[in-house]
Amino acid sequence: MNKISTIFFGTHDFAVKILQSLIDNPQLSIDLVITQPDKPSGRKKIITPPPVKILAEKYNLKILQPTSLKTFALKTLGTFDLGICAQYGLLIPQHILDTPKFGILNVHTSLLPKYRGASPIQSALLNNETKTGITIMKMDKGLDTGPIILQKSLPIEPDDTFLDLEQKLSQIAILSLSEAIFPYIEGKLKPQTQNNAQATFCREFNRTDGKINWFLSAQTIYNQYRGLTPWPGIWTMTDELKSNLPKNKRIKLLKIKPSKQQLENKKIKIENNKLFIGCGNNESIEILELQLEGNKPMSAQNFINGFIKNK
């Protein structure tokens, strides 16, 4: 059997794991990788290649980094049997979807039609879901509206964070693709139309989404931490807390967990060198690691010793 000529669309860490699995498959030939352009990163805004580009270069794969695909002429680059897309991040227009012989399959990190859009993992955690999964779908011009080829579900553990769940889903995704590609090409797996009436949508998040509302329950704030760590992260201003901390400083909460302490909303409590902050309903969360603006990340105990006990 001839190798399947494949084009891969992807950009971020999750996509790296998918691309590696495709490279390792002896029945596939990765003939082109399309990823997003290099972008400034970090405080110094150093121009940095996306993770998928780094992996593709390691294997000397052909790489293209268009800023948009609207006028991108894929047909001029050769004939492809199949496209695979995972966490690419740019709209793929119909003329490109139609170019590979068997279309383009997308690896989506939810059980479609639930959580169509850019942030299915974050949204599942924010909404305290107990189950999610992977959907392999054939892409069409809509936003995650294409017919489903294969799905696999995965339980969400109560303490799963974004990074935990992304890692678990990447393993499920690799398995799902291996089970879907060849039966799909051979016509043994027929794409099934999604039920649009059951569709839900999720949006991109930004830094303001990480701001904590201390009137919410401890579980809601913990879910915010689970879904939005490491990016954009959760944070509060010192002025909002009932304390003698320096004024008008941002505090990033890097690691937290729910607590059984009963505590007044926004109040800080120290007990046995542990740090607690009150939430809604007289509940609280325990802070394990944090970063005060202008300082390095630190443990709760170091924060207590440096900024509370010395006051």
Q: Which two tokens stand for residue 232?
A: 């954009």
**Whole-number pLDDT of residue 13:** 95
**Whole-number pLDDT of residue 74:** 84
Q: The domain 4-202 is classified under which CATH number: 1.10.580.10, 3.40.50.170, 3.30.450.70, 3.30.390.50?
A: 3.40.50.170
Question: Which residues of the chain fall below pLDDT 70?
Answer: 1, 309-311
**Whole-number pLDDT of residue 247:** 87
Sign of CA dihedral 217, 114, 134, 22: negative
Q: What confidence tens digit (pLDDT) does each residue in 72-126 have?
A: 888 778 789 999 999 999 999 999 999 999 999 999 999 999 999 999 999 999 9
Q: Where are the chain's structural domains?
A: 4-202, 207-308
Closest CA to 7 of 84, 118, 91: 84
DSSP per position, 2-18? PPEEEEEEE-SHHHHHH
Distance between CA atoms of 36 and 229, rounded to whole angstroms? 23
Peptide bond preceding 26: is omega within 30 degrees of 0, i.e. cis? Answer: no
87: left (phi over 0), alpha (psi -120 to 50) or beta: left
**Whole-number pLDDT of residue 1:** 60
Provide the whole-model pTM: 0.94
CATH of domain 207-308: 3.10.25.10
**Whole-number pLDDT of residue 77:** 82
Q: Specify the 3-state DSSP secondary structure of 25.
A: coil
Q: Are 136 and 106 in contact (CB under 8 A)?
A: yes
